[in-house]
């Protein structure tokens, strides 16, 4: 393989400080041969899209109904969940860049809800968040309508009572394809989640000091709404996995035994060039788009393992566990496909002359009450950060606490400029990043002409719910 080694494995003694362990950039000479039969193993039913790449943009229209649902996540095991269209995850929305999405949403829950389109650059009044939309009351309806301007993997979830509505199963993926997609044998969305149950097997009660502080982590590990599945693959085939961390608080550090991932992109779409990685780290809200060339002999298997990962303050994964198992069929192996050649021009934002603003994140525990802060204030009593459309913003995100807080910005992608003063070499577009304990991360973004009050917050749902949420007041 024509791989050029550019970077050694970074800081092997503290791998948890890195989003991805890059081992090389791939430089390849020829395009892949087309193969028949790309299909996915996700359990969510795909929404048919008529995206013909040469044709004019399509309108993708669907009904989405949020309703109570008995969630059977393994044979004989179920909980009282909530679902979109009676499916957990909700239907995968597949589209092509430039398509228009029209969602006729109905709320059949007994509590108000909304849909937030995490990562999609929607008009402000379609964002489904506080200040963008009144929650849809029980029995109510709302029509979401917007175009999908960017290629990538996105997801949708409620922006009301998130810790409970999302734990009960309200989430789904959005796949937006571009004009230059790599040829693969199988493509799947991989939504990661966990459930916290009580001794009787029902959902454990919500809240409590420990859960509010650390976030809700469960010991039932789910992929696409099912318990640790075994995935049948063909030896030699190329799989594309679009990971979404849909969990409340868990950060996943994933390794596939005997394999290296080829990372195509992250939150805001493709990277400038694909990169090899031995492990992937996903904080809540994060996405990673990767290729896996299955190097198993027929009938052999390999686990996808969540490795030990400490997210600070005594939180995290302290014993590895299997997320899923790849099991090769007895079919003769397919011939390996050549490396992917796709590139994307990703210009760094010009930040000269821009005065950075400091945005701090903190928590306190006093008299048995935990409080979360953004710039010393607790949502909803926060002072909005004022900004003007088209003006580049440079923010220093400063975590004053010992625990990771995954930062998510609504509406706009940002580039990470530096972490603890160390410059980040090649820019990518992100909407979510893990802000490690006591870390300082400099980001830049240029809000385009979509004024409004946009939210930013920690994506540990219990923290956002507890007030670790701020506002960006964008005006013309």
The yes or no reply on residue 121 touching ligand C2O (CB under 6 A) is no
Contact 249, 344 (CB under 8 A): no
Q: Which does 116 bind (CB under 5 to 8 A by kind): ligand C2O, Cu ion, none?
A: ligand C2O
Going from the C-alpha of 461 to that of each of 168, 216, 340, 451, 467, the distances in angstroms are 13, 8, 36, 26, 10
The yes or no reply on residue 159 touching ligand C2O (CB under 6 A) is yes
Residue 441 Cβ vs Cu ion, minimum distance, rounded to whole Å? 14
Nearer to Cu ion, 260 or 399 (CB): 399
Nearer to Cu ion, 88 or 251 (CB): 251
Of residues 96, 213, 463, 465, which one binds Cu ion by CB under 5 A? 463
Residue 457 Cβ vs Cu ion, minimum distance, rounded to whole Å? 8
Going from the C-alpha of 147 to that of each of 91, 95, 98, 249, 394, the distances in angstroms are 18, 10, 6, 30, 27
Question: Looking only at residues 8 through 27 of this chain, which bind ligand C2O when binding is defined by CB under 6 A?
Answer: none
Task: Tell me which DSSP letter residue 6 carries.
Answer: -
Nearer to ligand C2O, 48 or 384 (CB): 384
The Cα–Cα gap between 32 and 328 comes to 22
The yes or no reply on residue 89 touching ligand C2O (CB under 6 A) is no
Compute the residue count for the chain.
476
Residue 362 Cβ vs Cu ion, minimum distance, rounded to whole Å? 10
Q: Which does 460 bind (CB under 5 to 8 A by kind): ligand C2O, Cu ion, none?
A: Cu ion
Contact 61, 105 (CB under 8 A): no
Question: Looking only at residues 128 through 147 of this chain, which bind ligand C2O when binding is defined by CB under 6 A?
Answer: 129
The yes or no reply on residue 455 touching ligand C2O (CB under 6 A) is yes
Q: Which does 457 bind (CB under 5 to 8 A by kind): Cu ion, ligand C2O, none?
A: ligand C2O
Going from the C-alpha of 8 to that of each of 12, 25, 156, 262, 277, the distances in angstroms are 9, 11, 36, 16, 11
Contact 163, 215 (CB under 8 A): no
Residue 311 Cβ vs Cu ion, minimum distance, rounded to whole Å? 9
User: Shortest Cβ contact with ligand C2O: which residue?
Assistant: 118
The Cα–Cα gap between 286 and 431 comes to 8
Q: Which does 88 bind (CB under 5 to 8 A by kind): ligand C2O, Cu ion, none?
A: none
- Cis bond before residue 261 (omega within 30° of 0): no
Contact 310, 402 (CB under 8 A): no
The Cα–Cα gap between 85 and 114 comes to 15
The Cα–Cα gap between 460 and 251 comes to 10
The yes or no reply on residue 118 touching ligand C2O (CB under 6 A) is yes
Nearer to ligand C2O, 169 or 274 (CB): 169
The yes or no reply on residue 408 touching ligand C2O (CB under 6 A) is yes
Of residues 40, 135, 268, 285, which one binds ligand C2O by CB under 6 A? 285
The Cα–Cα gap between 385 and 394 comes to 12
Size of the site for ligand C2O (CB under 6 A): 11
The yes or no reply on residue 458 touching Cu ion (CB under 5 A) is yes
The Cα–Cα gap between 467 and 248 comes to 15
The yes or no reply on residue 250 touching ligand C2O (CB under 6 A) is no
Nearest to 189 by CA among 156, 220, 149: 156
The yes or no reply on residue 460 touching Cu ion (CB under 5 A) is yes
The Cα–Cα gap between 223 and 51 comes to 27
Nearer to ligand C2O, 26 or 460 (CB): 460
Residue 118 Cβ vs ligand C2O, minimum distance, rounded to whole Å? 4
Torsion (CA) 223, 277, 118, 313 in degrees, nearest 10: 80
Nearer to ligand C2O, 89 or 285 (CB): 285
Binding residues for ligand C2O (CB under 6 A):
116, 118, 129, 157, 159, 285, 408, 410, 455, 457, 459
């Amino acid at each position: 393989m024509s791989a050029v080694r550019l970077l050694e494995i970074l800081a092997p003694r503290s791998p948890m400080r890195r989003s991805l362990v890059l081992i090389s950039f791939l430089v390849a000479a020829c395009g892949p041969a087309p193969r028949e039969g790309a299909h996915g193993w996700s359990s969510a039913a795909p929404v048919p899209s008529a995206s013909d790449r040469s044709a004019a943009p399509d309108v993708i229209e669907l009904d989405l109904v949020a309703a109570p649902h008995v969630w059977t996540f393994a044979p004989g095991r179920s909980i009282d969940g909530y679902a979109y269209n009676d499916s957990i995850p909700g239907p995968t929305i597949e589209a092509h860049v430039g398509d228009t999405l029209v969602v006729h949403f109905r709320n059949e829950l007994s509590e108000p809800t909304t849909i937030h389109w995490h990562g999609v650059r929607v008009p402000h009044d379609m964002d489904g968040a506080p200040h963008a939309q009144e929650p849809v009351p029980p029995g109510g309806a709302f029509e979401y309508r917007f175009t999908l301007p960017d290629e990538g993997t996105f997801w949708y979830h409620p922006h009301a009572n998130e810790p409970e509505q999302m734990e009960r199963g309200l989430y789904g993926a959005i796949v937006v394809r571009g004009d230059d997609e790599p040829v693969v044998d199988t493509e799947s969305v991989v939504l990661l989640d966990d459930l916290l149950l009580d001794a009787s097997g029902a959902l454990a009660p919500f809240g409590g000091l420990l859960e509010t502080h650390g976030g809700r982590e469960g010991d039932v590990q789910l992929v696409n709404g099912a318990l640790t599945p075994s995935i049948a693959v063909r030896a030699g085939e190329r799989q594309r996995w679009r990971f979404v961390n849909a969990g409340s608080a868990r950060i996943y550090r994933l390794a596939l035994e005997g394999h290296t991932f080829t990372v195509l992109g992250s939150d805001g779409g493709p990277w400038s060039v694909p990169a090899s990685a031995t492990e992937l780290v996903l904080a809540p809200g994060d996405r990673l788009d990767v290729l896996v060339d299955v190097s198993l002999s027929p009938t052999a298997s390999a686990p996808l393992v969540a490795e030990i990962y400490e997210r600070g303050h005594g939180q995290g994964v302290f014993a590895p566990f299997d997320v899923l198992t790849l099991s090769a069929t007895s079919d003769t192996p397919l011939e390996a496909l050549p490396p992917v050649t796709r590139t994307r021009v990703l210009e760094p934002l010009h930040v000269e002359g821009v005065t950075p603003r400091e945005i701090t994140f903190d928590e306190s525990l006093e008299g048995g009450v935990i409080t979360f802060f953004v710039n010393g204030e607790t949502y909803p009593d926060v002072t909005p950060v004022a900004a003007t459309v088209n003006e580049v913003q440079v923010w220093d995100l400063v975590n004053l606490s010992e625990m990771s807080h995954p930062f998510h910005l609504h509406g706009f992608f940002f580039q990470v400029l530096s972490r603890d003063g160390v410059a980040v070499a090649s820019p990518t577009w992100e909407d979510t990043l893990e802000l490690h304990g006591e870390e300082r991360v400099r980001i830049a973004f240029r809000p385009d002409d979509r004024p409004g009050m946009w939210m930013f917050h920690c994506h540990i749902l219990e923290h956002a719910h507890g007030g670790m949420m701020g506002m960006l007041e964008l005006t013309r």
